[in-house]
């Protein structure tokens, strides 16, 4: 019953709303890495979020849920990025895949290798272990501090990090990093504003309060 009442906190719809707020701002070549069928689990496709992109590709690797008929590129996040793909894309997008890659840190760096500017990732912070035999296993969780360091290690700046902080649903972080942070100051300012709101709310009332600021 509580989940129905607080449906706005559900992690996939929440992260989709976050992506919709920004995806239309990005132009150029976009790749959705390890995106399976590109579905947003709400009846749509992530391709349609990036309405101003000049091209959109989908990468997968293998396994029972690791490829699809829509796959444009086969890409293994545990192997070096092919030379012809390094810096090829303006935007690299990845949604809740990294926790399933044992070499999490290397996989994050390879996402960054693909981009000439922006990386958008969604990762779980608090979520029940989930895996599927023959398809994927579950290894890691990451904090906002870890995301900042991971971006920095690949010479990107974390310009926006938000989470659906709550005690009911799994908690995700939605993060945007850029090699050219000055180009995206409005996004960075929004990130600072939301973080300040959340910090004030966290000090003044518990996270389970219905009237708190939702990120």
Taking each helix axis from N to C end, the angle separating 144-153 and 104-114, rounded to the nearest 10 degrees, works out to 50
Asked whether residue 93 is domain-assigned, the answer is yes
C-alpha torsion 187→90→23→35, nearest 10: -130
Asked whether residue 8 is domain-assigned, the answer is yes
Q: Do 157 and 178 form a contact (C-beta atoms < 8 A)?
A: yes
Asked whether residue 214 is domain-assigned, the answer is no
Render pLDDT for 2-11 as a digit per residue (tens, 0 to 9): 566 677 889 9
Structural domain boundaries enclosing 143: 2-204
Asked whether residue 101 is domain-assigned, the answer is yes
Q: What is the CATH number of the domain that holds 200?
A: 3.40.50.150
Q: How far apart are CA 144 and CA 36, in angstroms?
A: 25
In the chain, which ranges are E strands? Answer: 28-32, 53-60, 73-74, 89-95, 115-126, 157-163, 171-178
Render pLDDT for 100-157 as a digit per residue (tens, 0 to 9): 889 999 999 999 999 999 999 999 986 667 657 766 667 678 999 999 999 999 999 9
Asked whether residue 34 is domain-assigned, the answer is yes
In 41-114, which ranges are E strands? Answer: 53-60, 73-74, 89-95
- Per the structure, the count of domains in the chain is 1
Asked whether residue 215 is domain-assigned, the answer is no
Q: Output b/e per residue, 6-27; b: 16+ Cβ within 10 A.
A: beebbbbbbbbebbeebbeebe
Render pLDDT for 53-75 as a digit per residue (tens, 0 to 9): 999 999 998 665 556 667 889 99
Q: How far apart are CA 187 and CA 81, in angstroms?
A: 28
Task: Dig out the tokens for 107 from the structure.
Answer: 């996989």
- pLDDT-based confidence at 30, cuts 50/70/90? very high
Q: How far apart are CA 46 and CA 16, in angstroms?
A: 9
Asked whether residue 195 is domain-assigned, the answer is yes
Asked whether residue 57 is domain-assigned, the answer is yes
């Amino acid at each position: 019953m509580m989940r129905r009442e607080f449906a706005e906190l559900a992690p996939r719809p929440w992260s989709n709303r976050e992506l919709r707020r920004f995806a239309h701002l990005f132009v150029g070549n976009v790749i959705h890495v390890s995106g399976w069928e590109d579905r947003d689990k709400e009846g749509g496709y992530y391709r349609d979020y990036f309405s101003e992109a000049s091209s959109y590709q989908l990468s997968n690797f293998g396994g029972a849920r690791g490829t699809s008929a829509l796959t444009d590129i086969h890409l293994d996040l545990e192997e070096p990025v092919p030379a012809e793909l390094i810096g090829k894309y303006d935007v690299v997008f990845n949604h809740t895949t990294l926790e399933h890659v044992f070499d999490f840190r290397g996989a994050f760096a390879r996402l960054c290798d693909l981009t000439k500017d922006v990386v958008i990732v969604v990762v779980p912070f608090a979520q029940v272990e989930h895996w599927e035999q023959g398809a994927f296993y579950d290894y890691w969780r990451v904090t906002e501090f870890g995301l900042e360091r991971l971006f920095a290690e690949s010479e990107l700046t974390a310009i926006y990090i938000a989470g659906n902080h709550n005690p009911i649903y799994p908690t995700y972080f939605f993060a945007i990093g850029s090699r050219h942070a000055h180009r995206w100051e409005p996004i960075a300012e929004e990130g600072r504003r939301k973080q300040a709101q959340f910090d004030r709310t966290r000090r003044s009332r518990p996270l389970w309060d219905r009237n708190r600021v939702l990120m």
